[in-house]
Structure 1
């Protein structure tokens, strides 16, 4: 019965959206590509709402930097479409395919530039383009707002900013030092990273004044990525005067609150987005 309900929900959301074919992010080959198979070719999938609010979101699924968890891709894109938000799902290069930092960030930076550069085409406001990431995707999202310069490709000097205007981090991986998620750390920076690289990829140490507003949520029962990750980043944002909102829910293991479930984070996020004028519907 639950499976049938999910099918009906996705069908209902899909009727309010148009999911386009994935576009190759780097038509001439990704920088430092290790091959030409699908795992070497990151993509960006536009998901267009029936009626746009003018806001857009780069959606970054999780997967421990070793895979792409599809349950955090199009299902959430369709839900955001229902709120009037245009969404672009990023499938980025992974550590399991031999890619280490900053290859993943290069993909996120390029995705942001392509979205903002084609704002007229997509009928979106170039100053209302955010990023939303889950788990390891939350780490990539936090890195994108903290240190987009690390994702710059040598020899290129784009005039378009790659920093998002808003960030949503869902049970994010944050620290490579405090209770690190072992798989994400290994896949991103290898088994023997330098102390400098560990600090560089620990987002709580890289927050600074001037970052965009952030919405974070986590659960106290998360056994995979400890709740301290979100708490550390929220504390760093507070210390640097960055507007943010942190929601800690008592119950739920890692990955709770997926589409098709009842969870308060959906309503809390919609309330926050309305306060920031990203959702204009009643």
Structure 2
């Protein structure tokens, strides 16, 4: 498995893991999506990584799986990894055969939270380009796909993700700052969201809050809520209802020019 490092050697989590991208490049593809598996910020679910990248390849899209750092309690480091991943792929777009304005992000559960935060808390930073020059590169993804995402750290949030990311004694200000629906602005990219109404792990209110925030800021979005399916299904291959999310999402991605 190829590892594309996106941080210096000293940037590691409690287990010594340094954040990296695992590439699934498709010859001729000019668009890419970075995939973020879920796992409550305590692990990364394998079925929400490689198989999803391969599905994106089947849609004619290159992909990268982000192995972001898992959080020590009381630290918010994953956002740095999400931002660094976007900047790296955008800065090396020509090397990968990609358009720098066609770099998206797709996340599941806690990976959906990291995706939503990366898409709403954006900045520019000097990045070293392959030719040795430096250039200010934006961390804003050009679109987002949120799959049964953790969105809020306030009411209806996922306690496990909140504990892992912020710790047990997080202030209300810190919880607000890490609630993605609170960070939506006119600069937030177009977004595709899907969830299930019977999700008992991450309540559907997370996606509903995000959709409402997007609507309030006139951000284009598409929302699908399936009656049944629970949490953590990944591609949901073969499921009689929510298994259609991949078809709906592929249609949406193609309409965005991906």
Aligned counterpart, 2:129: none
| SS at 1:208 equivalent | coil
Structure 1: unaligned runs, 5 residues or longer: 1-19
Q: Which runs of 4+ in 1 moved over 2 A?
A: 256-262
1:274 aligned to 246, 254, 258, which one? 254
Q: 2:113 aligns with which of 139, 143, 146?
A: 139
Q: Which moved more, 1:248-257 or 1:258-267?
A: 258-267
Matched, 1:80 2:56: yes
Which structure has greater helix proportion? 1
Change in CA separation of 1:193 and 1:75 when aligned onto 2, cut-off 3 Å: same
Q: How many residues align?
A: 248
Query: Which residue pairs with 1:232 in the alignment?
Result: 209
User: For residues 59 and 99 of structure 1, do their structure 2 counterparts lie closer, same or farther at Cα, with a shift above 3 Å needed?
Assistant: farther
Structure 1 vs Structure 2 CA RMSD = 2.0
1:112: Cα distance to partner? 0.8
- Which of 46, 50, 75 in structure 2 is aligned with 1:100? 75
Q: Is the 8 A contact 1:57 1:88 kept in 2?
A: yes
TM-score, length-scaled by structure 2: 0.90
Counterpart in the other structure of 1:56: 32
Q: Any unmatched runs of 5+ in structure 2? A: 127-133
- 2:228 corresponds to which residue? 251
Q: Distance in 1 between matches of 2:254 and 2:84?
A: 28
Deviates most, 21-30 or 213-222: 21-30
Q: Alpha-carbon deviation of 1:257?
A: 4.7
- Please give the alpha-carbon distance, in whole angstroms, between the structure 2 residues aligned to 1:169 and 1:34: 25
Secondary structure of the corresponding residue to residue 160 of structure 1:
strand
- Asked if 1:164 corresponds to 2:141, the answer is yes
* TM-score, normalised via structure 1 length: 0.83
1:24 Cα deviation (Å)?
Answer: 2.4
Shift of 1:170: 0.2
Alpha-carbon distance in structure 2 between the residues aligned to 1:208 and 1:185: 23
